[in-house]
Amino acid sequence: MLIRIDTEKCTGCRNCINVCPFAAIIIKDEKAFITEACSLCGACIESCPERAIIDERERDAEKSKDFKGVWIFAEQSRGKIASVAFELLGVGKRLAQELNSELCAVLFGPSEEVEELIKWGADKVYYVNSQDYAALDDELYAKTLVSLIEQYKPEILLAGATAIGRSFIPRVAARLRVGLTADCTGLEIDKETGNLLQIRPAFGGNIMATIISPTSRPQIATVRPRVMKRGEYIADKRGEIINIPPLSVKKRVKILDRVEDTSFCKVNLQDAKVIVSGGRGLGSAEGFKMLWELASLLGGTVGASRAAVDEGWIPYSHQVGQTGKTVCPRLYIACGISGAVQHLVGMQSSEIIVAINKDPNAPIFNVATYGIVGDLKVIIPLMIKKLKEGAGQ
């Protein structure tokens, strides 16, 4: 609660009750209390003759000046650092340069790749090299990260919007009583205030919202894999690895076994260099057969719009977009996909986008590198024929 009542000072006079437009103040035992309905509008503060209503944001704003530096959480699995960590270092480097501060990575669990974090941009790595941290343990990870943040006070913390990040980063934010913006698609620094501008789709993807945490620190944001690009790899870059002793936390959760999701491996959309994606324009599950043929000739895999998934033509694991996967292949061929914003946020960072659509005004053409206006049932077989001829030669 960022607005609170000092119950020692409160006399229960009730002045504040009528001032609150959200009926968020109640009286209990002749003392005022602020409920969850509070919108932090601040209207009640001046109404209290005893100065018992305290706006903690002012105190937080003062404290926030002590926080410096950009941190990224580098998640690992079986010692292999996730690709999203290097992507976060890419965006983190740019933010740190704009703030004139350092870029640090936090790595929990043993990994042979710790130096890679420095080569991809980190100035320092806070490293807990302990087997206890090898697999995600929500409580242990959250407590350790909170204690590091309290000690070193970073201004910004970025983490992957992955199963791991989504699982424990909200705990970190809640323990620190700071905000968290999930699934950001853009991160910028406000030139005037130095605040982190956290940009993400809102209201079902119909608008892009820019969210700020003006007073609380650190500003925490998560970003999905493949949304940001890696920065520069400098093979001889030097940095500091700070070994952090493991915390001893009484464990409430015991990990019995880990089972790999093999269906994901089969699709592996996020690592594919070529994706041929189909939408409602394909007309049927049958239509996907020619996409598989085209994809295999190009050494790629098949993606889909939500409409095609909802029709039951292809499993959800192939869905690209806001509620599917974010992809960034070298070549993305969108076949019979209109280009709704929820689809675009999942693929618009692809290097080359080819759109095939019979409607020349389809929004997909706004992001396409090459657009082909016509019937996909004619165009795709032609592409397959040409590729086969090329392979024959």
For ligand FAD, the binding residues (CB under 6 A) are: 204-205, 279-281, 305-308, 319-324, 336-338, 340, 342-343, 346, 356-359, 362, 375-377
Per-position x/- string for 51-80, each x denoting binding to ligand SF4 as judged by CB under 6 A, each - no binding = -xx---------------------------
- Interaction of residue 41 with ligand SF4, rule CB under 6 A: yes
- Interaction of residue 48 with ligand SF4, rule CB under 6 A: yes
- Interaction of residue 50 with ligand SF4, rule CB under 6 A: yes
**Residue 323 · residue 340 · CB < 8 Å:** no
- Please list the residues that pair with 278 across neighbouring strands: 304, 335
Answer for which of 8, 18, 28, 34 binds ligand SF4 (CB under 6 A) is: 34
CB 222 → ligand FAD: shortest distance, Å?
17
CA distances from 312 to 217, 280, 305 (A): 45, 11, 11
DSSP 208: E
Q: What CA–CA distance (Å, rounded) separates 39 from 24?
A: 8
Q: What are phi and psi of 85, to 5 degrees?
A: -65, -40
Closest to ligand SF4 by CB, 15 vs 317, is: 15
Closest to ligand FAD by CB, 150 vs 359, is: 359
Name the residue type at position 258: R
34 binds, among ligand FAD, ligand SF4, none (CB under 5 to 8 A by kind): ligand SF4
Closest to ligand SF4 by CB, 46 vs 150, is: 46
Closest to ligand FAD by CB, 193 vs 369, is: 369
Q: What CA–CA distance (Å, rounded) separates 73 from 76?
A: 10
Q: What CA–CA distance (Å, rounded) separates 234 from 218?
A: 28
CB 23 → ligand SF4: shortest distance, Å?
8
Answer for which of 1, 11, 97, 234 binds ligand SF4 (CB under 6 A) is: 11
Q: Return the number of other C-beta atoms located less than 10 Å from residue 321's C-beta.
A: 24
Answer for which of 25, 96, 114, 331 binds ligand SF4 (CB under 6 A) is: 25
Q: What is the DSSP string of 95-142?
A: HHHHHT--EEEEEES--TTHHHHHHTT-SEEEEE--GGGSS--HHHHH
Closest to ligand FAD by CB, 51 vs 385, is: 385
Closest to ligand SF4 by CB, 40 vs 249, is: 40
CB 35 → ligand FAD: shortest distance, Å?
30
Closest to ligand FAD by CB, 193 vs 284, is: 284
CB 331 → ligand FAD: shortest distance, Å?
18
**Residue 333 · residue 307 · CB < 8 Å:** no
CB 193 → ligand SF4: shortest distance, Å?
22
**Residue 268 · residue 301 · CB < 8 Å:** yes
Token pair in block for residue 358: 């019979």
